[in-house]
Amino acid sequence: MTNPTTQIALKNNTSSSTVYAYVTGLDINKDNAYAFLQPDGKTLYYPESPSQPQQPLAVDCAIPLGAPGTTNTVTIPQLAGGRIWFVIDNKLTFLLNPGPGIVEPAVTNSDDVNYKLNWGFCEFTCYVDFVSIPIALELRNTAGETQAVQGLPTDGLDQICAQLAEQGASENTGWGELITKSPDGKNLRALSPNSGRIGNGGLFDGYYQTYVDEAWSKYANTDLKIDTQAKWGVVTGRVSSEGLLTFPNAGTFAKPSAVDIFSCSTGPFGSYPIETRDQMGAIGARLAAAFNRSTLVSNPDQPDAIVDGANNYYKTNPTNHYARIVHGVNLDGRGYAFPYDDVVPSGATGPDQAGTVFDGSPELLTVTVGGPNGGDGKGSVGGRDGEKGFFDFAWLKKIMAMLKGIFQAPWGRA
């Protein structure tokens, strides 16, 4: 039986004494009402619907972590869609719209009052949208067994930004444009290519065209086999004379653009026939992962196997260099760098790419902010950007810790 609550230890491993956490989610025992954990670490605050948009919260829900090296342990009930937010040297601003709808901090909206602050969050060790503050996870279950995701080193953000800038300069592409600077010129965050396009719609236009053309040419004459890892088993597709990648009795995929590949949710990955929606979703997830990792042309059997810590990923240009760099800088190579980064072959023996900790009997989840050796907190996790209105990011497949019944994922696995 799942415990009704679990403890989360929030550890300050930065060099700042002014670090705050926010815990948010949907209370599954109160009709999925949006809830904030209050500073006492045990009481939930349920925002009421305001009469006007953009209204402040009635309760300050910033949880102080204390001085460097200290830990503040909180207790949470069963939440779906749970997030833990961290901010250094300031507090975050959440606003309310009628509904209530929660206006969350946004890294792609320069008018957001939180935009220039040093913050991040975890749902998962997730870098789907951006990298900022280093966050590590350790889960201990009731039997005393532990699982850990190490996250980024203290200088992880600076390493990532330097490599993005170098990659952009070497191939004259927009990787360096993903870097956001603070007012004093320091690295504040690195956006994913999907997030980077929000403020620059032309970023990466045509980036994947040669690779997509090569894949379509190959699979016009060669079978592409995709293990759906579900009841449909292995399905076989070919590119038809109409130029569509066709999986008989399932559906077709047109050529994706770079934005389709980075988002995994637009163009051919954005809508499927109702009759075969689930099957096409499973195929599309594995196609999108193969494009991001640039393994589709080299391997007609997908998902591609993890070998030597996924050493066969990101070896061909063009590729998702943001994902490549983020995995390379992470201390254990794990972290959710694009929406289907949890796609791995059945029976894979290598480490997961996504950076999950998973247990049906959790006792304590320790979330450490600031990197393993402390510091200014430059280098973190960040999932889907805040939006005006209630968040329902269906394409973001999982949540941080996948604690059955505690942090419950409202989204299905790839």
Do 110 and 224 have their domain in common? no
- The pLDDT mean for the chain works out to 84
Q: In CATH, what number is assigned to the domain containing residue 330?
A: 2.60.110.10
Query: Residue 193, preceding bond cis, omega within 30 degrees?
Result: no
**Distance (Å, rounded) from C-alpha 414 to C-alpha 271?**
15
Domain end call among 265, 296, 315: 315
In this prediction, residues 20-46 reach a mean pLDDT of: 93
Q: How many domains does the chain contain in total?
A: 3
Do 9 and 110 have their domain in common? yes
Among 127-131, 196-200, 327-331, 373-377, which stretch is predicted with the lowest mean pLDDT? 373-377
In this prediction, residues 145-168 reach a mean pLDDT of: 93
**Distance (Å, rounded) from C-alpha 365 to C-alpha 363?**
7
pLDDT tier at 396, thresholds 50, 70, 90? very low
Q: In the chain, pLDDT over 70 holds for what percent of residues? A: 85
Do 9 and 20 have their domain in common? yes
Give pLDDT tens digits for 349-387.
Answer: 666 777 777 777 778 888 888 876 544 444 444 443 333
Which residue is it, tokens 């009731």? Answer: 142
What is the pTM for the complete model shown?
A: 0.77
Closest residue by Cα to residue 192 from 367, 325, 371? 325
Do 18 and 120 have their domain in common? yes
Residue 204 resides in a domain = no
pLDDT of residue 351: 63
More confident of the two residues 66 and 28:
66
Which ranges in 252-396 belong to alpha helices (H)? 258-263, 277-293, 321-329
**Distance (Å, rounded) from C-alpha 100 to C-alpha 389?**
8
pLDDT tier at 410, thresholds 50, 70, 90? very low
Residue 22 resides in a domain = yes
**Distance (Å, rounded) from C-alpha 268 to C-alpha 412?**
20
pLDDT tier at 306, thresholds 50, 70, 90? low
Do 113 and 178 have their domain in common? no
Residue 36 resides in a domain = yes
pLDDT of residue 397: 29
Give pLDDT tens digits for 63-84.
Answer: 999 999 999 999 988 787 788 9
Name the β-bridge partners of 64. 20
More confident of the two residues 150 and 93:
93
Neighbours of 134 (CB within 10 A): 33
pLDDT of residue 185: 93
Name the β-bridge partners of 237. 224
pLDDT of residue 278: 96
Residue 128 resides in a domain = yes
Do 141 and 284 have their domain in common? no
Burial 347-376 (b: 16+ CB within 10 A, else e): eeeeebbbbbbebeebbebbbbbbbeebbb
Say if CB 329 and CB 84 are below 8 A apart: no
Task: Indicate the SS3 state at residue 19.
Answer: strand
pLDDT of residue 169: 96
Residue 264 resides in a domain = yes
Domain end call among 280, 315, 350: 315
Do 235 and 245 have their domain in common? yes
**Distance (Å, rounded) from C-alpha 67 to C-alpha 50?**
36
Residue 413 resides in a domain = no
Do 22 and 135 have their domain in common? yes
- CA 120, distance to chain mean position in Å, is 11
In this prediction, residues 307-320 reach a mean pLDDT of: 79
Question: Is the pLDDT assigned to residue 231 strictly greater than 70?
Answer: yes
Residue 129 resides in a domain = yes
Do 102 and 11 have their domain in common? yes
Do 282 and 187 have their domain in common? no
pLDDT of residue 50: 94
Closest residue by Cα to residue 372 from 173, 135, 94, 140? 135
Do 24 and 37 have their domain in common? yes
**Distance (Å, rounded) from C-alpha 200 to C-alpha 178?**
10
Residue 225 resides in a domain = yes
Give pLDDT tens digits for 255-268.
Answer: 999 999 999 999 99
More confident of the two residues 414 and 248:
248
Domain end call among 275, 299, 315: 315
Q: Residue 190 belongs to what domain range?
A: 158-199
